[in-house]
Amino acid sequence: MDRFPEACIERTVEWVDTDASGHQHNSAILRWVEAAEAELFRSLDLPDYFPSAPRVQQVINYKAKLWFGQRITATVRVSALGRTSLTMAFEVTSDGGDVAAFGTVTTVHVPSGATSAEPWPEHFVRRITAQDGT
């Protein structure tokens, strides 16, 4: 397979997303990435992902400031699928197309009642690795 699935969301930088200096608060980037992640797993019809996929690593690189009222696009793409882990690459761009932040988020599969990571279920792997996302 050449490409894993991806999803995008568009938002407006709201006042609550900014800090005292008037540009986006660092936490806003992760909220937008998580919204795109939710869209991705909804589009793949994998609602069981969220209650069983805690984050084990987040890497965020900040490149530019985003200001109140500005439109942004957050894009997430599955970049690696391991036996028990999944890594998504993301970027948040301004309405002008400039990258404001990029990075990765890695989750692991911990089913309800388990205390450690276990292999992803077969249906999950099929959905992630399918060419058309179905």
Percent of the chain with pLDDT strictly greater than 90? 91
Over 80: is that where the pLDDT of 2 sits?
A: no
The whole-model pTM stands at 0.91
Residues whose CB is less than 8 angstroms from the CB of residue 108 and which lie 6 or more positions away in sequence, other chains included: 53, 54, 56, 84, 85, 86, 117
Over 70: is that where the pLDDT of 131 sits?
A: no
Distance CA 80, CA 10 (A): 24
Over 90: is that where the pLDDT of 121 sits?
A: yes
Distance CA 100, CA 80 (A): 23
Higher pLDDT, 131 or 15: 15
Distance CA 97, CA 85 (A): 30
Q: Where are the domains of the chain?
A: 6-129
pLDDT of res. 122? 96
> Mean pLDDT throughout 7-16?
96
Question: Which pLDDT tens digit goes with each residue over 58-115?
Answer: 999 999 999 999 999 999 999 999 999 999 999 999 999 999 999 999 999 999 999 9
Over 80: is that where the pLDDT of 120 sits?
A: yes
- Domain at 6-129: CATH architecture: Roll (3.10)
Strand positions, DSSP E, 16-123: 55-62, 71-81, 85-94, 99-108
DSSP structure class, residue 118: -
> Mean pLDDT throughout 22-38?
96
Query: Positive or negative, the Cα torsion across 32, 38, 44, 50?
Result: positive
